Structure formats: structure tokens, C-alpha cells
Structure 1
């Protein structure tokens, strides 16, 4: 499809008006007698109270476990109405108010301009809302000319990449920040092509030229290999906001089309791994609050907006971006997959990410900062092959002062000596278990979903190595009726901690409704996480289930007609101290432990009592970190710290999955052509030709059932 870009003439107008807007803002300051610094001025303006008539309601949205509407426009209007009635203080909410013709709170926008000017961490989150304001609402009466001029000045003054001058503690490198910064630099340059960006000294055109290959490389790896921050119920929100900015505003048709296709696959990820509105699956990155309850997920707004299930949050980056981006129309097949009524026993297998040892396969090396930024998008700081390059980047980008790299700064003398003696790779090898814990390499994901429950696991993923924000497995019966295990880190000031990530990752393997999780906790040399616990634990919130019973070494929980059974090889006890974990944390003392979780339902297992009876009687044997379990539903399962997962003596594959494989979606790894099918609906994506073929067509108005829409730039 040849993409028309209605902003072309508008962006030209904006370019001409940029100097005028800036001048108006400056003159206003002078006339007001304000000779303070820009930061001081923004700090004062940030104190502006909400205007008269500003909505004051702050009602929690209802979490929908069943789709509240099959119609996209109904869902869009519902979100706009809710967000306008319950605005948060950020810029994203102000954009919704402007769209609805309601008064905006400029003080909250100045507060975010101040954050951006100070180059605080997550300034890029706010920057995309400012860029959207300038692209879509530059001439809107909702925003004062002084504010628009101030926003333009902030955009022109910003630091868009770590190779630009200045010392800061912004995270610019992780997968979501990588695309937020690169796309912001590209779109800011496009908006002001002839003007000079003060921090770098580059013109807008030069800024675009620097960021275009970064954007395209990120898009290429995400489409073909997926996300290192796989299925993140936190950071998919940020990724989608960046993609929607590119889709809506990029004048480069290739960038816009590739961003559209990557967004299609992100929504396919959610459609296949969500359970009645909860993206309650394994995650490459997630945090305690998002794991314990789907009511707090960053992806919940898009889930409800696209699929009708979940919960709206008025300040959602991706939610606001989506309702304000008419150029992106979600293919209907994605809604149908997410809401498929015949969910009894859907197996979904996916492979995501890349391996450091396969660098050449992806056109990557270990010498240049550009390649280094790609490695850092999967947080390969201290892998034996990447550490020498990373140390060079610490020097080149003045990152020794960056707060995120203080663990390295504290060991700078050791690192310098290893660098001088050419022993950095050897140092990384010696401490690899600990200092490479952030790394997120290739993962094989297995999700099993029925109408009553979902179980999801990162199969045999980096067992025995340190973990950070990885969430390896999860069982889900409802938005906050869920179960997972971790090996906690004590007295942590950062992740991993008590519930986020793991001090050491387990070896886990799932087949359909059963997962076996083995923890083997060895004492190893440690620089980063020195204090780990002598126990593993499970999150199993008794009060969020309808019924919980304990028999022998098993705990059984029921919600509705879904059943959960959890077994530990070590004796367990409930957390008995008052607090959020009271009667929700199940503790198993000991540094080696096997956990088994099996799910069931009334349809297949009869009553809850019968389900519990059968599992209590099931033989289990554990010895030398090997377990055999005669599952009532799966038969004889055997798994250990080494070797395959066996079902009735036959191996179950844990590695080398396709990019996608389930009853609705298929693609080889790496992906080139991806086919999604549900009944007569389909979506076919071809990365090489840039074709995006849908049925029904996205602009379908005809009654002709043979109509198919193919778009290609």
C-alpha cells in the first residue's frame, strides 16, 4: 500500500512555525520578567493547578474476563470515555482530554518537560507523549502557545543517544528504551529537519540519518526473532507506544509498514498468551506487583482495547497511542484468536531472542558501539564475549557515572586490571553465574490454555545461572488467582529481590497441564548478588481462590471450575507474619527443591475432591535432582537437572521451537512469512516483500465474502 501521509503538509507547516512557537514562548517569558533558567521556569510552571472543570473522578475500571464488545469502535470509545473521566497527571492523559475537547492540565505537562530536560530515567517515555502532542495537536487551542514553544525547545535540546555529549543516568539501551530513543530521534529529526539540535549540533536531517538504521535493525530483529523482554506485561506497553509513533508519523513508508507488522506480531503474542484479560504467562521482564496481580499489568489497557478483556488505565502509553493512531487498524483475526471459545487444550510454542554465540548469524560483532547497543538490548553486559566491548562503552559514553552501572563502577579497579592484562573475558567467565544474570538470550516458550486455566513456562532456560527480572513459569486461574515460584534474594536494593526474578534460575519443563521446576542452588563466586536465601517459595494467594485444601505434601486451590495442585519435595509452611505475603507465600526450606504444579478442571477431572484424591495418590520419587511423577492426566513423567523431559519414556522437545506454532499461527524461526488463521479470517505477513494481507479487509464495507486486502508500500 502506498501510504498517504496527511502530516506531510502539516509537518512542513509545523517546521515553519517551530521558530515562531519558540519565539512566542521566549517573548512571553521576557514580558513576564522571567529571567530564570529554563529548568527553574518549568519548575514554577509545573506548580500550575488543574484548570477549572478538570475532571476529578478517579474510579477504578472494571476488569473484564469476557470481552465486553466485539466492535473495535465501541472499545475505542469506551477507553476514551473512561480516560477522559479519570485522567492521570501525565501527558498521555492530557492528550486524551485534548482529543475530547476538554481542558488540559498544563502544569502536569511542564512537570514532564522538566523531567526530559533533566534527562531523568524514563524521560523517553514522556518524550513520546510530547512528540505526539507536537505532531497531532500543535495547532490545537487545548494547548497554549507558550507550552508548545517550550515543548519544541525541549525536543531540540534533548540527548537522543549515548554517543551525544552529556553525562546522565538514563537507561537508553534495554530493548524497550532502545526503540523509544531511536524512534524519538528519528521522528524529532523529521519534525524539525532544518533546525539544529543543540545537544548534538546535528540538523534534524542528520539526526534522522543516524537513527533510521537503528530503527530498522530493531524492527528486523523483533519480527524475525521476537523479543528478549519476551511477553513482558510491563515493557510491551512501551514498545507498542514507540511502534505506534512510527506508524502514525513516519513519512518513510518502509519504516511505517515494518512497524505495523511488528505490532501485529506483538498483539499476536498477547492474543495467544493471555487468559481472560491477563497476560499471565512467562515473562522476560516483570516485577513483583505485575506478577502478583493482572490488575496492575501495563498491557491490560491494550488487552481490553484490542480484545475486550482486561482493565483500562487512563495513562497507558500504548492505550492512548493506539486510540490516537487511526493509521493502525488491527486485523480481526487477532481478536478472534484472543477470544476463541474452543480453548480446551490449546498448546502454543514460540521461540524468541538470539544467542550470543550465534552473533554472525545476525550480522553482529563485538567491536563497535552500534553492535554493542544491540547486545545491551538483551542486557549482555558481562558475557565473556561482550564484556570487553561493554567496558569500552563505559568509557566512550561516560557510563561509569550512570547509576545503573554502579555495580561495575564499584569494581572498576578490578575491571581495569583485567582490561590491562587482556583478562576481561576470563573474568567474565569466572563470575558468569552472577554478573551475567541480566542476560536474556533465546527462549523457548510453552503455553497451555483452556477455558478454566493457563500454564506457561520458559523451557529449560539458563538453569543454574543468576536471574534478574525473568519470570520462568506461571499458573493462572484468574486475574489475581495465580501461582509461581522463585528463589529469593535477601535484603536486595534492586532486582532480583524477594519476588522479582530469582537469585538462581531453576530448570523448568512443561507438558500441557503439568510443569516440573527444579532448583539446585550452589554457592558460587559473587560480585552482584552476594546474599541469597536458604529457601525457595511459591506465590499462592489463598484469599484469591474460592477454595484451598492441603493434603500430605500437596496444596490444592480452586477458582470457579479450574483446579490447581502444587507439590514440593521440601516441607512447606505458610508465611505467618502480617503483610501482603501473609497466607499467600508458601515457603519450602532448603537450597535444593522440586516443585510440581498440575492444573485441571471440572470438565475433565470431575469434582475438586476427586481431583485432589487422584493427585494425592500419584507416586512421586525424587533423588539426585531427578524426579519421576506419575501424573493422573499425563502418565509417567521424568525430568532432572540434566537430560530431557520424558513422557512414558519418550522425550518431549524443549528447544529449537518455531517462531510460532499453535492451531492459529505458524512461522519458522527466524520468521519471514507468518500466517495467522481463525476460521475464514486470516492475516499473512511477508517480511521480505512487506506484504500484509488480511481477510476481512481492514476497510471492509462490501458484502462480497471473497474480498481480500493486501497492503504493500
Structure 2
């Protein structure tokens, strides 16, 4: 356990039955949701287990809760045709924690969905949790920096740390919470978490103050959020064991000026070799590969489709409502699957969360964050490529608005107007300058709706103190923060918060600054006008008296003639420098240090 922590506050406990909204109707809603196995029922199963572990439910209500837990489907390995997506990265951990704790609470009971005992469920869940946590330590999160899904991961791990009888299990859960909170600390601005993200939702991009992660942020780094027992994040807010290490708190609250480079996840084609060479949990079986691939949503890629079809047949998932669009292809012979996939070119290949090399630059006045050279020209989904934040809740970002013919039972289909990209751009960042190319000439895909030949930028004019708009440029000031965007094509103002560039191949450059660099907004504008942006063939060039930036589509990114690498280590940031695929790491705050050693399971926080 960490021996030194800045987080010594008295935390709000989980409410007792009959108080704080925890009444019989609430528990019955959880039971009904779990029994119906609706999307995110694994979240409700965790909340229901929390109510049961508290031990104060009336006997009849407790019996109903027990029946619901014993009848639940915890894994894609179990039979079921419901709409739960238990294979994605965040659902893998929420469902496995629920299964582990259910097996621990009811070791000798028979779970009616598959006829196995609680002991066997706990043993299976333990194995998968150790693999999942080890992979996150070694490779990072496929759903990188998500202000939605990190909240779910952290909440589930806090529940595991609180209630696992195995101290080693609890300690490793705390270590992965440390990593997730470190990511949030390094990639936030003014308490808002809206960097580049592997999976994003429109409201949580536009209004990060209302994102799922915010109760976690406030509880971890200062504040006393109310316990909302309808939200999974309440499990972190009421945590009993985990305390935030002082070193991470110091990075989050005392070091606003930083440049963070980090690597998250794996490319789909890396997975076989990396899992085979994983020092703690080496594995090469098809089912092991499927767990990782489906965790990163790489279900219909050329590298995975054969194993996907095999898994669907073996696990009898053809009748799953979520996987129904694949049903007709599962019957094809394996040699035909890859060629068929390449022929139909489905947009679902864009769901795969490949390795992300993320750069985030922050000062006390702005944030600029982007994922470098992420699958340019390929289909996108929920990946949020770049984002700039300024004071006053100003969020600026750009996308190629996508269109999908696939329906979703539980959320709007993606990519969409502001979520993800129909076709991914090529983006590269150097400190406070970002270059972006949109090339929409790739061939159309199966399930793709009408392709819009445009890129657009969310730029909320009404929230700025001052703005200027020219034929192919825009700039804004909020307090002491400045942002400017130059375009290769005309900027068309279509609303008070949206700028459009029309064309199949367009580009723009984003620059942020503050009063530490510029004497005034007028000075920022004067320098902005000295920049020249040009798109010639596949090369986007930004030139000025102060430097030259060149982004060649899917090739080099050069600054003043020198190639800038976009292949990042696990962390290169103030306080933490770690290579890819680490077995240990040290985090240094202003006054404290945190050492995490996965090989020994040691987590030590010290002063100095």
C-alpha cells in the first residue's frame, strides 16, 4: 500500500438503506435492469453488489438481488443473446469485477446462467482481471484519455480495491487507478478533461465540465462531490481503501505548464507478438487474442476477421443483437473472409482503437492536445483527434462529419456530426502548433452514409472576449489566452460556433498562445498574419519568420527541415519518463514520489 498520500480527507460513505436516495424503488430498478441484461447492466450489477455488500437490505429485497446476481451473464463466454457489449475494454473490467465479487460473496452457490459455482466464477474473473490490469500497466488504455470510459474503469477498480479479499489483487487495482489518474492529471486543463480521446461523446466534448469523469476528478484532486448512486462513479467517490498518491495530486494541481508525450494501446497488427512476449501473462491462443482485439473494438479488420468469425461460431454469438450485422459473413470459409472484407470495405474497421501517440501541451491559459498521425485516410469512429481548451469553457476542435447506416440500440451511431471522423485526417503537433490535413478521396465503404466533402471546426464565437474572422483565418481571445487557425480554403461561417472548409482535400493550422508570449491580442494577430499556409499536392506547409512546418500526407512531418518523430514512449512528461512496455515506473511530483513495480506488486509513495 502507498505509504504517503496527500489524500487524507474523510470520504462520504455509501448511504445506508432508507437514506440518501437508497430506497426500495432504487434497488428494484437495479434488479430489473440486471435481470433484463440491458446495455450497461454490468454497471448496475456493480451498484447492486455494493448495496448487498453494505448488508442492510430488507430480507425479501436482498433475496431478489441475490437471484438477479446469480442469474446474470458476466462474460461473452457465457450463453446469451442480449444487447450487452461485455467485450470492450471498459466493460471487460466492470463485468469481471462484478463476477469476481459475486463469486467471492456466493462461493458455494450455483450461478444459474451457466451452472458454475461462485468459486469457479471468482477464479475465472481473477485470471481475466490480472491480465486486464497487467495489460493496462504495460500497454496503456486502448480507450485513451476518454473522459467517459476512464470514469468507469476507475470506479470498477475502486470497488475491487475496497472489497477483494486478496490483498495482492486490491494493490494492483490501486496501481492501475494510479495510472488512470496520472493520465488525467497530465492531460487536463483547469480541472477539465478534454484532450485527444480514443472514444468520445458529443456532450462530453462540448461540455467537459459535465463529463462522466468529473466526480472522479473532484473527489481525487480536491472537492467533495455529492454521491449520486445512479452513477457508477459513486463507487469511487465513496471508496474506502484507495487514496490518491501525493505525487499525482501535485502534478494535477501544481504544475500547469507542461508538454506531455505518451503512448497508449497497441496497433492491431502488434497484438500477436506483444501478447506472446508479455512477461507476466504471455499468451497466444485465439481466444486470448480475441479478448484483446475486441477490447480495442478491432472486430472487423483484416488482421482479426478470421479469429472473429471463429469466436462467433465457437461461442455461439451469431444471435447477439450487437453482432447481428456480421451473421451472414460468419458462414463464409476462412480463406474468403479477408478478401470479402477488403472488397466490401466496411466502415466498422474504423472502430478499431489502434496505438495512440498523444501530445498535450498546457499552460495556465490553454491546452492543445492531439493524437499524432492516427490512421490517416482510414475510417474513423469515436476517436477525437485534436482539441484545444481555453478559459471560460471554450472548446475548439475539428472533424470530418461522418455518416453511418448502422443503428445503435443504446446511443446515436458514430461517427457523427461532432463525434469522430468519417475519414480520419492526418494531424501532427509541435508544441503549440498543430497541422491538420483532410483528404476525403478514399473509396466509399459498406454501411457508410452520404460522405460530406468538407471539414468543420467548432469555434464558439460568443464565448470569446474578442474574435476576428478573415476569408481563410480565424482568431479569438479569452482573458489572456489566444487561438488562431489558418486554412488552405475559404472559411465559411455557418453558425455562431461552426466554421466549414469545403473540398475533398483541405488543410488548416492551429496555433495557441498567451500573454507570456504575446504582449496583446493585437500582437498575436500581427504575428498570425505573418504566417503563410499552403497545400501543394500532398504537402501542407506553414511558414513564417519564426519557423517552417511541413506535413506530407502519410509521410514525414518536418519542422525547420528536420523530421519530427511521432513514435512516443509510454510517458515523456514532467515528473515521469517511462519507455514503452514498462514493468515499473516512477512518478515525481513537486515534493513526493510514487514508485510502481508491477513485477513485485509494490506501490510505494514517499516524500522527497
Deviation at 1:642? 3.1
2:302 to 384, 395, 411: 384
Contact 2:471 2:490 survives alignment (8 Å): no
SS in 2 for 1:548: strand
Looking at structure 1, the residues matched to 33 and 103 of structure 2 have their Cα atoms a distance apart, in angstroms, of 21
Residue 508 of structure 2: SS of its match in structure 1?
strand
1:516–1:595: 8 Å Cα contact kept in structure 2?
yes
Match of 1:332 among 246, 250, 257: 246
Q: 1:357 Cα deviation (Å)?
A: 2.1
Matched, 1:242 2:160: no
Provide the residue aligned with 1:149 in structure 2.
63
* Equivalent residues of 1:428, 1:435 under 8 A apart: no
SS at match of 1:643: coil
Q: Do 1:167 and 1:398's aligned partners in 2 also have CA atoms closer than 8 Å?
A: no
1:439-518 aligned at under 5 Å gives the runs 439-478=352-391, 480-490=393-403, 493=407, 494-518=413-437
> Which of 168, 180, 187 is the matching residue for 2:82?
168
Alignment of 1:272-351 (within 5 A): 272-308=186-222, 314-315=228-229, 317=231, 319-341=233-255, 343-344=256-257, 346-351=258-263
Unpaired runs of 5+ in structure 1?
A: 4-69, 81-94, 576-581, 697-705, 707-713
**1:672 Cα offset (Å):** 1.3
Deviations 1:222-248 (A, max 9, x none): 011100000001111111111112111
Match of residue 555, structure 2, among 640, 643, 650: 643
Structure 1 CA distance for aligned equivalents of residues 558 and 227 of structure 2: 44
Question: Which of the pair is proportionally richer in helix?
Answer: 1
In the superposition, the TM-score normalised over structure 2's length comes to: 0.93
**Shift in alpha-carbon separation, 1:408–1:553, aligned structure 2, 3 A:** same
- Matched-pair contact (CA < 8 Å) for 1:545–1:557: yes
Deviations 1:528-557 (A, max 9, x none): 224221111111111222222113421111
> 2:591 aligned to 680, 683, 688, which one?
680
The correspondence of residues 44-193 of structure 1 with structure 2, limited to 5 A, is: 72=7, 80=12, 96-98=14-16, 102=20, 104-135=22-53, 137-138=54-55, 140=56, 143-193=57-107
State the structure with bigger RCO (CA 8 A, min sep 6), 1 or 2.
2
Deviation at 1:459, TM superposition (A): 0.4
Give the deviation of 1:454 after TM superposition. 0.6
The match for 2:127 is 213
Q: Spell out the pairing of 1:277-676 with structure 2 (5 A cutoff).
A: 277-308=191-222, 314-315=228-229, 317=231, 319-341=233-255, 343-344=256-257, 346-358=258-270, 359-363=272-276, 368-409=286-327, 412=328, 416=331, 419-420=332-333, 422-431=335-344, 434-478=347-391, 480-490=393-403, 493=407, 494-575=413-494, 582-631=495-544, 635-655=547-567, 657-676=568-587
Deviation at 1:199, TM superposition (A): 0.9
Number of aligned residues = 595
Change (3 A) 1:310 1:516: farther
CA shift, 1:523, in A, is 4.0
CA distance in 1, matches of 2:404, 2:182: 38
> Once the 2 structures are TM-superposed, how far is the Cα of residue 302 of structure 1 from its aligned partner?
1.1
Change (3 A) 1:517 1:310: farther
For the Cα contact (< 8 Å) 1:366–1:385, is it kept in 2? Answer: no
Paired residue secondary structure (2:194): coil
State the Cα distance separating 1:151 from its structure 2 match: 1.1
Give the direction of change, closer, same or farther, for the CA distance of 1:256–1:620 in structure 2 (3 Å limit): same
CA distance in 1, matches of 2:251, 2:586: 13
Q: Deviations over 1:665-696 (max 9, x none)?
A: 12111121111112331101111111111114
* Deviation of 1:366 (Å): 7.3
Counterparts in 2 of 1:638 and 1:311: CA distance versus 1, 3 Å:
farther
**Are the equivalent residues in 2 in contact too, given 1:382–1:435 (CA < 8 A)?**
yes
Structure 2 gaps of 5+ residues are 277-281, 408-412
> In the TM superposition, what is the alpha-carbon distance from 1:101 to its structure 2 partner?
5.1
Q: TM-score, normalised by structure 1?
A: 0.80
